[in-house]
Structure 1
Amino acid sequence: MVLRVVQVVLGLARPMQDADGIGCFTVKTAAGRIALNEILQNIRRTILLVDLDGSFWDPVRWPKRPLVLCQIPRLFSRLGRHRLFMMAYLTGRASEQLRSFGMLVRGVVAWCQFGAERWQDGKQVDLVPVPSGLEAANSELEGTPYSVERKTHAVAEHWTATDTAEAVELLLARHQRLAEQHGLAYHPGNLVVELSPQGLSKKVSAACFARQFLPVEAMEGFVREFAPVELEVYELMWSSLEATGGRLVPSLQSPYFIYVGDSAPDMGVFLLLDYLRGLGIPVLKVAVRGYQPLEDLADIVVDGPAGALQFVRELEIHTAPWWLRCLRRSLGHAA
């Protein structure tokens, strides 16, 4: 009996320090496995940046009514409160929408509307101006049978999987035309298409986000490939961060990066992580199944929002002391 107790205690005390200790997903790349092992051993140097719609809840036609599970903001808030672990969103949602869903929580930094606005600790700042052509584009969307989501810096139109391919093709063509006519950027996503400030994308915002934690020269190679309008927006965003003090983030020494996304706009973030990996920085690319080009670039592919949530729960377990990790596992990862 005493021997059994000792075995149990020793088993509980054994920390999970490699990718083999996580069973809810498979790491499909060698680079991803190396990165995950590094991250699990140094979890408090990790920055977790995530998309939201389509990644942690299913996209919906009527965007004001997504099914946001109550444990999601609680989980993200717990992660954000780890002072040496940073939790952030990079989303097309406006900050006011996230507030209505209960997603603006203490400890989390939200880069909203593709990075046009930034929220932290109750303070929101605009990083780029409202595009001049947005009002005209909005007026041309009046009367559409689809769900239109109007935001301060952007407008999005949503459809469902039941709409025909022909109808969706016409909708996308109309948005491409509106983008060209009114000087806006065109972003097709998961059952949604968005028009936003020209030059603004998740790729540009993610680069500006990463620059907060890295030497400026580390980003030069990636930024060098930007189109002139992208570079202009990138520098504008950085200037806005410096002017507002928004770039003052928790100090992380030699940080690691994880990104979770599900659709075409997330491709640019994956490209940034590939670049950072080339610099020797441990990064992990997680794709929610459904958009094949993103899956092809990913280190890990999870099944739907439930899989993404399970992945983040596993990360949370690794931020806790060994005894609490074991307790949470025994309780089935209770949120």
Structure 2
Amino acid sequence: MEFTSQDGEQHWRDVLAVLDRTVVGLDFDGTLAPIVDDPEAAGIHPDAHDALVALAPHVAAVAVITGRPAAQVIELGHLEDLADRLAAAGTELYLFGQYGNERWRGSTRDIDTPEPPERLQEFVHALPDLLDTHDADGAFVEEKGLAVAVHTRRLAEPEAAFDRLLEPLTELAEEHDLGVEPGRNVVEVRAPGVHKGDAVAEIAEALDARGFVFAGDDLGDVEAMRQLDELAAQGLATLKVASASREQQALVELADIVVKGPDGVVDLLTRLAADAAER
């Protein structure tokens, strides 16, 4: 891993000093799970569970904060099994799905989710004509309940298709009073409002945290990083981790540490647990 902010190493030490009251927050795709062509075929890194279980006795909580639907991440990440192992090690697993619109925790296993807005379904109905008009009718449309994602990764020229679709998708979303979140060869459309920063603020306040570590890889994680800056201004120890890739460098300038994808995230969690055990 590489410390990239001026005070990155100090932030690491500050978090270690209050680790027992620190929340470890993690994005899913690109952070805990490698990016794959088929979003439904994604899977959590094979060593992620063990790394988090090793860290569990030293932290206040673990939170997965993702744009995916909660039920999907529970399945893809085997989070019920992880929740059991974390509980046995002394900590709770929280899940915020669809950018914080959905909530789940390991001790209750119930998903709290609101109803999707009607205007989102109207947007979905208009999508086929738009994709056909812009020579992208082979794009994969993923309906998430509270959001819809248009993936270009399966197309012959995914980057060109993404560039071609971003503006018309944004215009169509705005016509339906919806927000747009560009990502790695994906454009996600959802009702504006809740974002990952809100989830960070919510769990930090609920647990009276004194520290917060967050790792993410994409534009949807920017608000979470910015919320860590707000928490730092309130006196919390914070550590911002970018899971970097060749596709998306936007988070690097915000981060204290840059790691190489999910492998690097797992290594960082392992090192954090080892440093905590030595204290």
Give the TM-score band, short-chain normalised.
0.7 to 0.9
Aligned-pair identity in percent equals 28
Corresponding residue for 1:100?
75
Root-mean-square deviation (CA, aligned residues, Å) is 2.4
- Map residues 88-237 of structure 1 onto 2, 5 A cutoff: 88-101=63-76, 102-104=78-80, 105-106=82-83, 107-121=92-106, 122-126=109-113, 128-142=114-128, 144-160=137-153, 163-214=157-208
Whether the 8 Å CA contact 1:190–1:262 is kept in 2: the answer is no
Q: Deviations over 1:302-327 (max 9, x none)?
A: 1121111111111233454x5xx9xx
**How many Å separate the matches in 2 of 1:71 and 1:300?**
20
Whether the 8 Å CA contact 2:47–2:266 is kept in 1: the answer is no
Change over 3 Å in CA distance of 1:31–1:124 after alignment to 2:
same
Letter of the 1:28 partner, please give it.
Answer: T
Letter of the 1:123 partner, please give it.
Answer: D
CA deviation after TM superposition for structure 1 residue 198, in Å: 1.6
Aligned length: 257
Determine which of 238, 253, 267 is the counterpart of 2:222.
267
**How many Å separate the matches in 1 of 2:9 and 2:46?**
31
**How many Å separate the matches in 2 of 1:273 and 1:204?**
11
SS at match of 1:123: coil
Structure 2: segments with no counterpart, 5+ residues: 84-91, 132-136
Change over 3 Å in CA distance of 1:47–1:156 after alignment to 2:
same
Corresponding residue for 2:17?
41
Determine which of 219, 234, 240 is the counterpart of 1:279.
234
Q: Select the structure with the greater relative contact order (CA < 8 A; seq sep ≥ 6).
A: 2
Q: Deviations over 1:102-159 (max 9, x none)?
A: 1343131000011110011212112x44222111122233473112211121111222
Corresponding residue for 1:298?
255
CA deviation after TM superposition for structure 1 residue 294, in Å: 1.1
Q: Please tell me whether Structure 1 or Structure 2 has the larger radius of gyration of its CA atoms.
A: 1
Q: Deviations over 1:41-92 (max 9, x none)?
A: 3321211011110112222231110143333234335545x38521001101
Change over 3 Å in CA distance of 1:163–1:56 after alignment to 2:
farther
CA deviation after TM superposition for structure 1 residue 164, in Å: 4.8
**How many Å separate the matches in 1 of 2:195 and 2:234?**
23
Change over 3 Å in CA distance of 1:259–1:84 after alignment to 2:
closer
Output the TM-score relative to the length of structure 2: 0.83
**How many Å separate the matches in 2 of 1:58 and 1:99?**
16
Structure 1: segments with no counterpart, 5+ residues: 1-24, 215-253, 326-335
